Structure 1
Amino acid sequence: MFHAGTPAPTPEDLMRSRYTAYVMQQGPYLLQTWASATRPEHMDFAEDGGIKWLGLEIKRASMEGESGIVEFVARYKVGGRAHRMHETSRFIRDADGRWYYLDGDVDGQ
């Protein structure tokens, strides 16, 4: 996982890092890497229903200028049932060269 002093070099790297943060329930890192315009006030993993993350597959990743897109499928279990989340995430890069998660479109939602 990247830290405050080591920004992720690409949107895909940030996506992988954020997935790891979800697995490890690292709310402060997730908030730190979320664009301020769309960032929630807090992360409460107690509300996640006991999600157990099982894997991440990157379908495609691209960047152009100060924006990037990462399409991924994340597999997880809740209450013993397997699920998958298919999302196309958008990322933006600030003037300091740091990438931030902006938002995403989840298939089926």
Structure 2
Amino acid sequence: MISKCFCGSNDTFEQCCKPIIDRIEPAPTAQALMRSRYSAYVIIASQYLIDSTHISQRANYSKADIEAWAKESHWQKLEIIDCKKGLLNDSIGEVEFKAYYKDSKNILQIHHEKSVFKKESGDWFYVTSV
């Protein structure tokens, strides 16, 4: 049985987030980038998480910290709450989401965030949370 993508779409990982994480296809929208970043945490694709962060913010993140958090978290599901802009012809967008995961003590946690994204030269980047 083929399972749905980690991000919760109805497509498989190979059809949905993997081509974006592998840089075969760019994320067409801010939401697609958000979904791919969630899937990247699930598969611990730390370099992609750094590369998909806006250059102005990369110094705030370390590969080791990303990997540690991703490894100690057991990702359950992604819930998209709201999207503002962030479509194909936009240059900015916001995605509000909840990421459900179990921490190292097996306690369910909910990471609720509103993320800001920016598109430059055709590629979407995560900028910050508000």
Instruction: With the length of structure 2 as denominator, give the TM-score of the two structures.
Output: 0.73
Kindly, what percent of the aligned residue pairs are identical?
34
Could you list the structure 1 runs, at least 4 aligned residues long, displaced by more than 4 angstroms after superposition. none
The corresponding residue for 2:110 is 84
Amino acid at match of 2:72: G
Match of 2:83 in 1: 61
Distance 1:6 1:48, change over 3 A: closer
Q: Following TM superposition, by how much is the alpha carbon of 1:49 offset from its aligned partner in structure 2, in angstroms?
A: 7.1
Cα deviation, residue 46, structure 1: 2.6
* Superposition CA RMSD, Å: 1.7
Cα distance between partner residues in 2 of 1:41 and 1:57? 24
Structure having greater relative contact order (Cα 8 Å, sep ≥ 6): 1
CA distance in 2, matches of 1:41, 1:60: 25
2:101 and 2:75 map into 1 onto residues whose CA distance is 4
Please list every run of 5 or more consecutive structure 1 residues that lacks an aligned counterpart in the other structure: none
Whole-angstrom CA distance in 1 between matches of 2:45 and 2:39: 8
SS in 1 for 2:33: helix
Q: Between Structure 1 and Structure 2, which shows a larger proportion of helix residues?
A: 2
Question: Higher strand share goes to which structure?
Answer: 1
Structure 2 residue ranges without an equivalent (≥5):
1-16
Change (3 A) 1:19 1:48: closer
TM-score normalised by length of structure 1: 0.87
Residue 77 of structure 2 aligns to a residue in which SS? strand
